[in-house]
Amino acid sequence: MFVIEKRKTFTKVQNFFLIIIFIVLSLIMSSLIFLLRGLNPFFVLTKILTSAFGSFYGIKETITKSIPLILCGTGLVVAFRGKFWNIGAEGQLLIGAVMATWIGLFIGKNLPSYILIPLMFVFGFLGGGVVGLIPAILKVKFNINEVITTLMLNYIIENLISYLVYGPWKGKTQYGFPYTDNLPKNALLPIIKGSRIHYPTLIIGFFVALLIYFLINKTKIGYEIKVVGENPYAARYSGIDFLKVTLVIMLISGGLAGIAGVGELAGIHKHLTYPYQISSGYGYTSIIVAWLSGLNPILVLISSLFFGGILVGGDIIQTTFGFPFATINIFNGLMLFFIAASHFFINYKIKFVKVKYE
Amino acid sequence: MNIPLIEKLEMRNIYKEFPGVIANNYINFHINKGEIVSLLGENGAGKTTLMNILYGLYRMDKGEILINGKKVNINSPRDAISYGIGMVHQHFMLIENHTVGENIALYLDNVPIIFPEKSVERKLKEFFEKFKFNINPKSKIYELSLGEQQKVEIIKILLRGASLIILDEPTSVLAPIEAEELFKLLKNLKDEGKSIIFITHKLNEVFKISDRVTVLRLGKVVYDGDINSVNEKDLAKLMVEREIIFNITKEKKDGNKEVVLSIKNLYVKNDKGLLSVKGVSFELRKGEIFGIAGVSGNGQRELVEALTGLRKIEKGEICYFGKKCEKFDSKIFRKFNVAHIPEERTKIGVVPNLNVEENAILRVYDKEPFTKGFGLNVKKIKEFALNIIKKYNVLTPSTNIKIKFLSGGNIQKFILGREIETKRDIIIAAHPTYGLDIQATRYIRNELLKMRNMGSAILLISEDLEEILEISDIIAVIYEGEFLKVDRKENFKIEEIGLLMGGVKS
Q: What is the CATH number of the domain that holds A313?
A: 1.10.3470
Determine whether the interchain pair A227/B342 forms a contact, defined as Cβ–Cβ distance below 8 Å: no
Task: Give this prediction's pTM.
Answer: 0.79
**CA gap A61, A314 in Å, rounded:** 12
B142/A contact by beta carbon, under 8 A: no
Q: CB of B185 within 8 Å of any CB in chain A?
A: no
Interface test with B, best of A12, A211, A223, A357 (most B CBs within 10 A): A223
Total domains present in chain A: 1
Query: How close is the nearest chain A Cα to the Cα of B13, in Å?
Result: 18
Distances (CA, A) of B13 to B35, B57, B60, B66, B86: 21, 18, 10, 11, 22
pLDDT at B217: 87
Q: For position A358, what pLDDT does the model report? A: 42
Nearest to A198 by CA among A125, A120, A257, A263: A263
CA distance B206 to B416: 39
Q: Contacts of residue A231 in chain B, CB cutoff 8 Å?
A: 347-348, 350-353
CB atoms B348 and A233 under 8 Å: yes
Residue B148's CB: how many other CB atoms inside 10 A? 19
Written as one string, the DSSP assignment of B108-124 is -SSS-SSSHHHHHHHHH
User: What distance in Å separates the CA atoms of residue A72 and residue A89, rounded to the nearest whole number?
Assistant: 6
Strands (E), chain A: 2-6, 348-352
Kindly identify which residue of chain B lies nearest to residue A228, measuring between CA atoms.
B351
pLDDT at A34 over 80: yes
Q: How far is CA B374 from each of CA A168, A187, A211, A244, rounded to the nearest angstrom? A: 44, 34, 13, 14
% chain A with pLDDT above 70: 96
Range of the domain at A287: 2-352
Total beta-carbon pairs less than 8 A apart between chain A and chain B = 67
Give CA A288 to chain center in angstroms: 8
Which of A8, A219, A237 is closest, CB to CB, to B342?
A: A237
A206-239 pLDDT tens trace: 999 999 999 999 999 999 999 999 999 999 888 8
Q: Looking at chain B, which residue has its C-alpha nearest residue A240? A: B331
Residue A334 lies inside a defined structural domain of this protein: yes
Q: What value does the mean pLDDT take over residues A5-18?
A: 73
Q: Is A355 exposed, middle or buried (0-12, 13-18, 19+ CB in 10 A)?
A: exposed
User: Is position A358 within any domain?
Assistant: no
Query: Helix, strand, coil proportions of chain B in percent (round to 5)?
Result: 35, 25, 35
Residue A236: list chain B partners with CB under 8 A. 310, 330, 348
Q: Is A14 on the interface with B (CB under 8 A)?
A: no
pLDDT at residue B256, rounded to an integer? 64
Rounded to an integer, what is the distance from CA B501 to the centroid of its chain? Answer: 13
Residue to mutate among A224, A237, A242, with most B CBs inside 10 A, is: A237
Radius of gyration of chain B (CA): 25
pLDDT at position B408: 81
Euclidean distance between CA atoms B268 and B240, whole angstroms? 29
Mark which residues 205-234 of A lie under 8 Å from B by CB. 218-221, 223-224, 226-227, 230-231, 233-234
DSSP B92: -
* Chain B contact set for A224 (CB, 8 A): 365
Give the strand order in the sheet containing B426-430. B339-341, B426-430, B457-462, B289-293, B474-479, B482-488
Task: Check CB contact under 8 Å for A239 and B350.
Answer: no
A220 CB neighbours in chain B (<8 A) are 365-366, 371, 374-376
Structural domain contains residue A36: yes
pLDDT at A345 over 60: yes
Interstrand relation of B8-18 and B62-67 (parallel, antiparallel or unpaired): antiparallel
Residue A127 belongs to some domain of the structure: yes
Sign of CA dihedral A200, A206, A208, A211: negative
Backbone angles phi, psi at B62, to 5 degrees: -140, 160
- CA nearest to A216, candidates A12, A54, A43, A80: A80
**Which of residues A129 and B373 earns the better pLDDT score?**
A129
Specify the DSSP element, H or E, that contains B86: strand B85-88
What mean pLDDT is predicted for residues A145-171? 94
Sequential DSSP letters for B355-384 = BHHHHHTTTTTTSTTTEETTEE-HHHHHHH
ipTM, two decimals: 0.81
Strands (DSSP E) found in B227-368: 259-269, 275-285, 289-293, 313-320, 323-324, 339-341
Q: Which residue of chain A comes nearest to B370, CA vs CA?
A: A220
**Low-confidence stretches of chain B (pLDDT beneath 70):** 1-2, 20, 242-256, 326, 506
> How many residues can be counted in chain A?
358
In a domain, A207, yes or no: yes
B365 close contact with A: CB closer than 8 A: yes
Q: Hey, how many other C-beta atoms are within 10 angstroms of the C-beta on A345? A: 16
Q: Does A236 touch chain B (CB under 8 A)?
A: yes
Q: Do A358 and B342 touch (CB under 8 A)?
A: no
Note whether residue A357 is domain-resident: no
CA nearest to B368 within chain A: A220
Q: What is the pLDDT of residue A9?
A: 62
Task: Please say if the pLDDT value at position A262 is more than 90.
Answer: yes
Considering only the beta carbons, identify the residue of A221, A234, A358 that sits closest to B351.
A234
Q: Which of A316, A206, A325 is nearest to A277 (CA)?
A: A325
Residues of A in contact with B310 (CB under 8 A): 236-237
Q: Which residues of B touch A227 (CB under 8 A)?
A: 351, 354, 362
